[in-house]
Amino acid sequence: MLRFFLKIVKNYKRRHAGLRPAAVLLLLGLCGGAGAAGESVVAASHPLAAQAGMAVLKAGGNAVDAAAAVQFALNVVEPQSSGIGGGAFLLIHLAKTGENVVVDARETAPAAATADQFSAHAFRENSESGLSVGVPGTLAGFAEAQRRWGRQTLAAVLKPAIALARDGFAVTPYLAKSLTSPRAALQPETRALYRNEAGNPLRQGFWLRQPELAHTFELIAAQGPDVFYRGEVARAIVQAQRRSAMGPDGIGRMTLADLAGYRPEMRTPLTGRYRGATLVTMPPPSSGGVALLQALALLERFPLGHAPGYGPDETLGTHVTIEALRIAMADRARWLGDPAATSVPLDRLLSPERLAAVSRAIDPEKRLPAPPELSAPEGRNTTHFSVVDAEGNVVTCTSTVEAAWGSGILVPGYGFLLNNELTDFNRVPRAGPGDPGANDVRPGMRPRSSMAPTLVFQGRRWWLAYGSPGGPTIISSVLETTEELLDDGLSGDAAVRLPRYAVLDGAGHTLVERSMPQPLLDALRARGHLLQETDRPIGSVQVVGEDPVTHERWGAADPRRDGTVLRY
């Protein structure tokens, strides 16, 4: 979408107007920065995290080891977005067997959770209290992935993060801006760490050291995940989540038994087809993969690209994409949740017959009068990274502490933030006639997510890996990236730089970045779309890929954060 923003891409397409999108992709070499065949590539939202992953690859680790190193380093340099106090979804491609696996390290609700625990208070009060803290899964998920498929020890992949936390790093512009959030200074511990002596947020260039976080990583390196889930760190987590912004109602319900009982889930990814390619993506409890495959199926009959057989009408393409996302988001709000807690009707939601009938109902000229299906607020400050190693193993991962700075509760003495992930459940229970309450709070269950790490294959050969942070905007960002790569044949660098929009719910409330052209916005409003311009960037897509012909590897990192691509 919005291809005309990139003059060089327009000129290229004029020169090669007779090519199908797949052919354009091959000729472009997927120019995210091509390298030699068999290269390892890391694309991450912060250069120091990318360097951590690359150091592990150079030391003999594989993509799973490197992904763990990236994640732990991001806990240090991008603490507002992810870390061991949160959760993650990993999608892994194993080159030797061709297997694709999902590690679900999503947070879980404590055993004492109840469906109505959030209904008496506003979202903000809930989200800044221990009641919103889910049992963290990130550490368990990466440790299990390493145990199954990694080459290096957990202690080895923690080394870069330990050094970064102990020795410090310069605050980047992105982190400095995030530090102005009041949530970064809700507790005495966060104020002491992220404010200067005058009480002001740390500025760009300040050298930030986190000795308590370094100590925590050293404990994990020496004792393994048990110290976090059963030992001294577990006891500190349980005590910290008793903090509340709204009195006794907000005290967290997590116990030592909840932490000791946490297990990541190994899941089978969802698979779909689009424009001749195979997409592999995230299953429930994430709604992201379901919504992505639904929207692509709804769109396949429409002319979206620029090669023969496709139409260059920017308004039409954006209009029908918004309509497809509205339909997917309406289904998401009603039917998607943790499959251990509710019966998720995947066969119906992804039925080709149903989706074909719904696609035929999309009017190319005006917005559908679909009833609203409003979703609960969902944090947008996630992170995403993608790694491919020399053997062709691939990890694409989205991880989070939910809102920026999570619950705002830093575990005293241990230096990491606790998530507020349970606010992804329905604030008010919805179970009743005609509604299964698929995302109502239930003990031990995982809240619905939008995270959608995705792999694309040409035949049986891996081709692309990408994803995005952004809460409910993830689905739109990943869908638009898919269109840009598969329909339009753009390079990775071109795709991640395009302006974005994000459909938030079934009613069609849509955020648009201000860089979108005004004539297009006017045309969409004339079709009835509900658009709101925003100064906030939408998503942060990190892509790695391999040219299907030359097998050259490449990466592309979104400039909306401190995105970095490294190769080896």
How far apart CA 23 and CA 166 sit, in angstroms, is 49
The catalytic residue among 382, 400, 423, 481 is 382
DSSP state letter for 249? G
Question: Is the preceding omega at residue 285 within 30 degrees of 0, hence cis?
Answer: yes
Is residue 13 a part of any domain in this protein?
yes
Query: Residues 179-223: pLDDT tens digits?
Result: 999 999 999 999 999 999 999 999 999 999 999 999 999 999 999
The pLDDT assigned to 294 comes to 97
Asked if residue 408 is part of any domain, the answer here is no
Which parts of the chain have pLDDT scores under 70?
A: 1-37, 306-312, 370-380
First to last CA, the chain: 32
Which single residue is written with the structure tokens 């400095």? 176
Q: Is the residue at 311 inside a domain?
A: yes
Q: Is the residue at 366 inside a domain?
A: yes
User: What is the total count of domains within the chain?
Assistant: 1
Type of residue at 170: A
Q: Measured at the alpha carbon of residue 121, what is the angle toward residues 118 and 127, in degrees to the nearest 5?
A: 65
- What's the pLDDT score for residue 121? 94
Residues 6+ apart with CB under 8 A from 436: 334, 335, 337, 342, 343
- Secondary structure element (H or E) that encloses residue 147, with its range: helix 138-149
Dihedrals phi, psi of 61, to nearest 5 degrees: -75, 165
Residue 291 domain boundaries: 3-35+283-378+470-540
Q: How far is CA 257 from CA 72, 216, 433, in A?
A: 25, 21, 35
CB 277 within 8 A of CB 457: yes
Question: Is 21 inside a domain boundary?
Answer: yes
**Is 108 marked active-site?**
no
Q: Look at residue 270 and give its three-state secondary structure.
A: strand
**Residue 367 in domain:** yes
* Amino acid in the structure at residue 443: P
Domain membership of residue 69 (yes or no) is no
CATH number at residue 371: 1.10.246.130
Annotate 460-525 with DSSP letters as a single string: TEEEEEE----TTHHHHHHHHHHIIIIIS---HHHHHHS--EEE-STT-EEEEETTS-HHHHHHHH
Distant-in-sequence, close-in-space partners of 136: CB < 8 Å, separation ≥ 6: 84, 85, 86, 87, 107, 228, 237, 262, 418, 419
What Å distances lie between residue 116 and 102, 238, 429, 438, CA to CA?
31, 21, 6, 14
The predicted structure's pLDDT at residue 304: 84
Chain Cα centroid distance, residue 411: 24
Structural domain contains residue 484: yes
